Amino acid sequence: MKCTIHGAVVLSRPPEGPLAAYIAPFARSLSEQGYREGSLKQQVRIASGFSRWLEQTGVGVRSICADHAIRYLRYRTRHIRPRRGDRAALRHLIDFLHLEQLTPAEQVVSPRLSSTECCVQAYVTYLREARALATATIVNYVPFVRAFLNDRFGQGRVTLSRLCAGDVVRFAQRQAPRMQPKCAKLLTAALRSFLRYARYRGDITLDLSAAVPVVANWSMPSIPRGIAPDQTRQLLASIDRRSGTGLRDYAILLLLARLGLRSGEVVSLELGDIDWSAGRLSVGGKSAQRNELPLPADVGKAIATYLIRGRPRSTCRRVFLRARAPITGFSGPSGVGSVVRHAIQRAGIDAPTRGAHQFRHGLATEMLFHGASLSEIGELLGHQHPQTTTIYTKVDIKALRTLAVPWPGDVQ
């Protein structure tokens, strides 16, 4: 006797086994996450087959673990031709059972951390909770700090009170010459940060951060590579806004171009951050600071159109959601970078880069060209230090040569 699950999946017989009562709720959960009918059918049929196998092997709901999923896939392969997505379907089912507290969370035995790793983890906690630094900054600092501690203490116990200026100088002098200037400056910044942390803890009394050598490097060595205004207009015009994905991408690109937001700021934007009546946007910037920005009419219209006509139904509070299941916010800034990269490729534009930051540079350069002050530019871009904004005052000599008037007469 056939059985229909969630009005979409037809099984040759009703579900059997310990998971029979949970197949329909599982299907409903998948539907709410935005999985399409084809994927929904595959996952429900896998779950039904898994439940029958559990009954045959005498495994109850409370005993299910990831190992049972692996064993079932091996069993299934001997009887049915495997399909792409079978393993993911079972993983979704196991996650659903854990989420519904039907199966106990698996106990993962963590390996014992070394003395160096314990010190690094404590430093990471300090950066995240006390300093509220961005995840990207923490990720950049940690490898240098770990290398410094391993260089000084090896596999032994880390005793920060034994550090001296010579340790710091020797490590920096050995490592910096092998690196590009930008990477070497990041190394010295990480060392200063860690040594200030060690002093904050009371492990050292001297300010060893002052012993970190300064990496020789020209201030503002390169000119920001900003996308040109006509390229931005061409890119926006190329977006197909007849689909939900197109409406989303258009709104994202407008935010980048008109407000100069960072990728991470676009990703973390939530529905409650938009004050429609006041026409303002609250943006979470670096170091957990929030910037209040005016919401231009065209940007507000693009976001509103996406929310009304293009955004999938979801309990997620993020403004911009993935186009494919599971329907949730982007996992990180790379999601916005992917939107920019594919849009530029489709439009066939010879942009300075394929990244999202070029819109930020392009906006700042255009504002400066039209007479905006550095303080105004810095306020819009959320710069914490005025020196960060001064990079846009650099002149592109190569571009200016194309505008130079030939000198009259022959060269003497």
C-alpha to C-alpha distance for 72 and 93, rounded to whole angstroms: 13
**Using one digit for the tens of pLDDT, what is the confidence trace for 14-71?**
888 888 888 888 888 888 888 888 888 888 888 888 989 998 888 888 888 888 888 9
C-alpha to C-alpha distance for 313 and 152, rounded to whole angstroms: 54
**Using one digit for the tens of pLDDT, what is the confidence trace for 296-313?**
999 999 999 999 999 998
Domain boundaries, the chain: 3-99, 115-211, 229-397
Give the length of the chain.
412
The single-letter code of the amino acid at 104 is P
Helices (H), 164-242: 165-175, 181-201, 229-238
Give CB contacts under 8 A, 24+ apart, made by 284-293. 285/382, 286/134, 286/137, 286/382, 286/384, 287/131, 287/132, 287/133, 287/134, 287/384, 288/132, 289/382, 289/384, 291/382, 293/259, 293/380
C-alpha to C-alpha distance for 233 and 266, rounded to whole angstroms: 20
Q: What is the SS3 assignment for 305? A: helix
Tell me which CATH code domain 115-211 carries: 1.10.150
Model-level pTM?
0.67
The single-letter code of the amino acid at 168 is V
Query: Mind telling me the catalytic residues?
Result: 262, 286, 357, 360, 383, 392
* Chain mean position to CA 50: 35
CB 226 within 8 A of CB 363: yes
Q: Does domain 229-397 have CATH number 3.40.920.10?
A: no
Low-confidence stretches of the chain (pLDDT beneath 70): 1-3, 6-10, 12, 105-111, 216-224, 285-289, 370, 372, 374, 376-379, 382-412
